Structure 1
Amino acid sequence: MSETHAHHSRATVDDEQGPRRSWALLVVALAAQILVVLDISVVNTALPTIGRALDLAGGDLQWVVTAYVMMSGGALLLGGRISDLLSRRGVFLTGLGLFTVASLVSGVAETGPQLIAARAVQGLSAALLTPSALSLITTTYSGAQRKAALAIWGAVGSLGVAAGVLVGGAITTWTSWQFIFWVNGPIGLVALVVGSRIIAKDAVSRPSLSAFDIPGAVTVIAGLATLVYALGGTATHGWWSVRTVVTLAVAVSLLIVFLRIERRAAKPLFPPHVWKLDSLVSGTAVMLGVTGILVGAVFLTSIFLQTVLGYSALRTGIAFLPFALAITVGAVLAKHLLAHLSPRTVATAGLAVVAVASGVLAMAGADAHYAADLLPGLLASGLGVGMVFVPVSVTSLSGIPASHAGVASGFLMTGHEIGAALGVAVLSAIASTAGSLVSAQGAADAFSRGFVGAAAMAAVVAVFALVRMPAARVADGGGHLHLH
């Protein structure tokens, strides 16, 4: 991209500024991101099967999910920094290759620790893949193309989590749990071959080791990973156990150390001036909140369908299909609304819909029926979630210079990953205060209590979005990147 695109013909309409680019790069980037997002939830419906096959105790099953989210969330800022300092093309292809290999290794794991370790490597490679993919999009496209690309990216972020349950249930029923991971192989390989051919090579100067802010990277990865580890153990050990309190204290201490290192670093992992960009900070906070509600809701509903209603893994996945379609409708609706309303208005409206829908779902009891008691709430919740992800994705990267597009993308997606971990931990902890997730009656009571918590969370995030998100309408999909 050249400086001249910012000075494109004045005769061009605002939302058509910038040269037209091929959509091929977007397709490859989205294919990679779909793999990353699907792997957050694809194992949910297969967990009982995986536990029996690998002899994993009930308390250890969560780590098949948590190891992935923990490492991807913890390392995303470093992944973004690496993407900015090295070749975006090289980082993307490296992350994609590593993710594909780790997926294949996950499928051949013979013990629980082997699978959890392979999932952790998947998470690390996702931390390279996601910010490099998003920064390739934001530095390649402009104007209406950029707005459309980021809207689609936002939809994939929410739709992938819901679709993962369907994909996981179908694959587990028709083949075996191993294919949940093996299916990533051919998709990753095709994306790798196509990406290596269509993504333009970018010449970059070789940075020094100090440019990567290794001390900052180590402390933020350790801090976020410890935080997710602490939250992931609350369902088993409780919020006030010595283990939880100590690990949370260690996590907070490490994150405080990270902030102090960043203030003194000559080349900080996350440049201080970027913290002043309200659109990025507020967007990331809303991303964290809405992802937490989404992933937590999928977790609770999956348990309700299988434990209370007695659904199979496949039937559970199919039951989520209307939810996934509603997210798509919400994303399309949000894209059109952004032409007339501010991101703040669209996101707040979406969160209000999620809050009401969560209240409806909270009324479901042990004698609930899917069509009458769950489907209306799931449809409304999906619609609201889709309406939130799009304005957040479109506006969060507004005004970010191209030299920092990777780390800003990493910051935004850190909100997504940490939100996923927080959502499951917080909502399952709230749910567990009403009953056990193992028995039918207990799971029904827990489901209701959990969705009361989800409604409260949605209301809080809605107020935050109303106060902090951009009030101005989006003219060109989040503004142009100003190259330096």
Structure 2
Amino acid sequence: MTENTKNFSGSKLLTAIVLSILTYWLFAQSFLNIGPKIQSTFSTSPDIVNISISLTSFVTGVFMVVAGNFSDKLGKVKMTRIALILSIIGSLMLIISGNVVLLLMGRVVQGLSAAIIMPATISIVNEFFEGDERQKALSYWSIGAFGGTGLSSFFAGAMATFISWQSIFVLSIILSLLALFLLNNLPESKLVKSASNQFDYIGLTIFVIMIASISFVITQGYKIGWLSSPTLILSVLFFICIFVFYKFEKSKRTPFIDLELFKNRPYIGAVLANFLLNTGVGVIALFNMYAQGGLKLSAFQAGMLTLPYLITLLLVVRLGEKSIKRFGAKRAMVIGPIFTALGILLFSFTFFDKPLYIIVALIGAVCFGGGTGLFATPALSTAVSTTPAEKVGVASGIFKMGSTLGGAFGIAIMTSIFTGIIQSGRSVETAGSIGFIVGTCLVICGVLASALIIPTRKIKTRLKTN
């Protein structure tokens, strides 16, 4: 660890960070699998439940870059503590009453907590670890995020079935308190700057409107129609905001986001490849739809078929970390998505008989998880290590926002293609196959982003000097 934290245990810090990010990836995301339980408890409509499910991810995606900017200015450790307190408050709002307003407010608070935690904890890793230890710490960060996501559906179902859905958030509160205890006495980064009196509130407002508009289009467009008036109006608003934001930020001495970040080819390549690889979240959603609708499997059986994805991913994450030192980050960022695309392509062989397809799907899940695991740490390390230390918060916020929007985009595109083809009179098998092929193409675009945008030698040099 760095001189700034030489008296603070590295394992203690990593435990606190992993517990912190689990408040979103494992606990807040569990809402995806307990919708009927929520509806029964709150005696509300399915529409309200659906809003509560998607609300946290929406708020997280919209405010993550804003939170990253604040963590750079106010302090990464301070912001992480604030986020954990917000997570506790949000969890309490969900479980202390059956009030629908508190339910929705609690999900918003959970979203704000997650938006702060992700860039702040990545910044803490970058600041408080050096060299090989930094790569190792980033691997554990990735394991916490991907592991939490992979376990959230199974974990939520088990807790809701055998105890109660409220117990999920009681446990989240307990682990948040433990994370706060572990972070006690952790010194703040020496790189923290005092908040400027000239903070760019106009830039912040334009940016929030810009991200909120495109987030709504991505997450709701397939429901209300890609050519509906709200979708088209918000799409136009998004492009107008891009133009206004660019012009306004160029004229500011202290802009909300330093546009110099986007001249950094390794960083841009990592963000774009990360966005495209995370469209694979849509593949998992599509596979569950096809397995239950086409193969007539139960939700539990479909979930079991995706377990090799999670297991392989967690096993390979550390391999991706070790490959950075030997080969540089770019190679893993190209090879990883190739395996991911191969795995998704195997899912598209829906013309096979059911027993054979299940075998092929299990092999596909192994390739899918292995490729994603190989990509995870090198991509995160590239985004962090090629960015000036005082901008890591906002840079990692943009990087993780790419993950959130990429996942939402993948789900929207693949599920809308699947349902659209079925509604046109085609078979479930045809719809599933085409949806998976589209997913394969999106991930291959991620391969191209890594291969064409990221310069090999430059990445190797910066990682060694960091």
Candidates 424, 427, 432, aligned match of 1:447: 432
Aligned CA distance change for structure 1 residues 462 and 60 (closer, same or farther; 3 Å): farther
Structure 1 unaligned residues grouped into runs of 5+ = 6-17
State the Cα distance separating 1:54 from its structure 2 match. Answer: 4.2
Candidates 129, 139, 142, aligned match of 1:154: 142
Candidates 24, 28, 33, aligned match of 2:16: 28
Aligned CA distance change for structure 1 residues 96 and 20 (closer, same or farther; 3 Å): closer
Distance between the aligned counterparts of 2:138 and 2:184, measured in 1?
A: 22
Query: Partner residue of 1:106?
Result: 94
Q: Using structure 2 for the length normalisation, give the TM-score.
A: 0.89
Q: Using structure 1 for the length normalisation, give the TM-score.
A: 0.86
Q: How does 1:169-184 map to 2 (within 5 A)?
A: 169-184=157-172
Question: Is this contact kept in 2: 1:137–1:149, CA < 8 A?
Answer: yes
Query: Partner residue of 2:326?
Result: 340
Whichever structure has more helix as a proportion of its residues is 2
Query: Partner residue of 1:232?
Result: 219
Read off the aligned partner of 2:337 and give its amino acid letter. L
Candidates 318, 333, 340, aligned match of 1:354: 340
RMSD, aligned α-carbons: 3.1
Distance between the aligned counterparts of 1:380 and 1:258, measured in 2?
A: 40
Instruction: Note if 1:390 corresponds to 2:377.
Output: yes
Query: Partner residue of 1:287?
Result: 274
State the Cα distance separating 1:296 from its structure 2 match. Answer: 0.9
Q: Residue deviations 1:102-134, cap 9 Å, x none?
A: 123234463555433322221112111111111
Candidates 308, 329, 342, aligned match of 1:322: 308
Candidates 57, 64, 81, aligned match of 1:93: 81
Q: Which moved more, 1:185-194 or 1:249-258?
A: 249-258
Read off the aligned partner of 1:298 and give its amino acid letter. I
Distance between the aligned counterparts of 2:147 and 2:376, measured in 1?
A: 10
Q: Which moved more, 1:361-370 or 1:184-193?
A: 361-370
Q: Residue deviations 1:395-433, cap 9 Å, x none?
A: 111232222221122121111122222221122222222
Distance between the aligned counterparts of 1:202 and 1:300, measured in 2?
A: 43
Aligned CA distance change for structure 1 residues 186 and 344 (closer, same or farther; 3 Å): same
Distance between the aligned counterparts of 2:117 and 2:218, measured in 1?
A: 25
Q: How does 1:4-403 map to 2 (within 5 A)?
A: 22-39=10-27, 41-54=29-42, 61-108=49-96, 110=98, 114-197=102-185, 199-202=186-189, 206-211=194-199, 213-293=200-280, 295-364=281-350, 368-369=354-355, 371-403=358-390
Question: Is this contact kept in 1: 2:211–2:238, CA < 8 A?
Answer: yes
Q: Which moved more, 1:40-49 or 1:30-39?
A: 40-49
Instruction: Note if 1:472 corresponds to 2:460.
Output: no
Candidates 404, 412, 416, aligned match of 1:417: 404
Question: Is this contact kept in 1: 2:340–2:368, CA < 8 A?
Answer: yes
Distance between the aligned counterparts of 1:477 and 1:47, measured in 2?
A: 46
Question: Is this contact kept in 1: 2:344–2:440, CA < 8 A?
Answer: yes
Query: Partner residue of 1:8?
Result: none
Read off the aligned partner of 1:297 and give its amino acid letter. V
Structure 2 unaligned residues grouped into runs of 5+ = none
Query: Partner residue of 1:12?
Result: none
Question: Is this contact kept in 1: 2:387–2:395, CA < 8 A?
Answer: yes
Distance between the aligned counterparts of 2:313 and 2:272, measured in 1?
A: 20
Instruction: Note if 1:407 corresponds to 2:394.
Output: yes
Distance between the aligned counterparts of 1:192 and 1:20, measured in 2?
A: 14
Distance between the aligned counterparts of 2:261 and 2:460, measured in 1?
A: 22
Aligned CA distance change for structure 1 residues 275 and 79 (closer, same or farther; 3 Å): same
Question: Is this contact kept in 1: 2:332–2:378, CA < 8 A?
Answer: yes
